Amino acid sequence: MGAAIHTTVFASAEQLASAVAERFAALTARPATTPFTVALAGGSTPKRMYELLAAAPHRERIRWDAVEFFFGDERSVPPEHPDSNYGMAKRALFDHVPARAHRMVAERDGAADYARLLGERIVRRRDGVPVLDLVLLGIGEDGHTASLFPSTAALGERTQWVVMNDVPQLHTRRMTLTYPVLNAAEHVWVLIAGAGKRPMVTECLAAAARNETPRPILGVRPTAGELVWFLDAAAAPATNPSA
């Protein structure tokens, strides 16, 4: 099944973002001979974390030349589009720190090129798959994560690392990392805030306890890495203890 889901709950979304930013800074401080590789997520909670990383004290504390950023998914839009995950991360983080970031060119169906980039830039392998040091994810109210949506073809992909995924329910096509890459990662952190997420979080944690995987997010179970769901109190099940 892979790693168990560990949950950590904070009183507010701001406390969640601050704590995750602090943990990110601590992780990147480890000695290494290769860059610390990160796949970023879109969404308001990750955005706040990126803003905190771009400000003191983290901006000065992190060795940005030792960090390399990738993305978990992207919409088929150019970077200046307001829906672009890369554009959001650029405004929140990359414009303020000397970061190396690799954009997904989803508007030109660049999945094969992005997979090639992962293979070239990430040296470490697990079962032949590149090992990202950290993957940040979110969860949608339908249980999707990255651009792995319910009833879409990418859910069954076990060979390709990056695919273009048609999402008929949203009338769109997106680029996404697949389960093999997500589950090869050393650390997977799922950031979840807001009362609108509580029903899906409650359903998913109950299903995970029964070893069931009815929603796309539950297919993310790292084979050897850490899996933590960071929740604010509004998103956490009522019975979940607060951190």
Is the separation of the CB atoms in 122 and 130 below 8 Å?
yes
Q: Is residue 124 part of a domain?
A: yes
- Which residue range(s) make up the domain with 222? 6-232
Q: Is residue 237 part of a domain?
A: no
Total number of domains constituting the chain: 1
Predicted structure pTM score: 0.96
Q: Is residue 192 part of a domain?
A: yes
Q: What is the mean pLDDT of residues 144-173?
A: 97
Is the per-residue pLDDT at 243 higher than 50? no
Burial 149-181 (b: 16+ CB within 10 A, else e): beebebeebeeebbbbbebeeeebbbbbbbbbb
Query: Residue 127's domain is classified under what CATH number?
Result: 3.40.50.1360
SS3 37: strand
Q: Is residue 239 part of a domain?
A: no
30-66 tens-digit pLDDT: 887 899 999 999 999 999 999 999 999 999 999 999 9
186-206 tens-digit pLDDT: 999 999 999 999 999 999 999
Which residues does residue 68 pair with via DSSP β-bridges, in sequence order? 37, 100
Q: Is residue 1 part of a domain?
A: no
89-141 tens-digit pLDDT: 999 999 999 999 999 999 999 999 999 999 999 999 999 999 999 999 999 99
Q: Is residue 198 part of a domain?
A: yes
Q: Which two tokens stand for residue 17?
A: 């973002």
Q: Is residue 131 part of a domain?
A: yes
Burial 102-125 (b: 16+ CB within 10 A, else e): bbbbbbeebbeebbebbeeebeee
Q: Is residue 50 part of a domain?
A: yes
Q: Which amino acid is at 42?
A: G
Label residue 242 by pLDDT band (50, 70, 90): very low
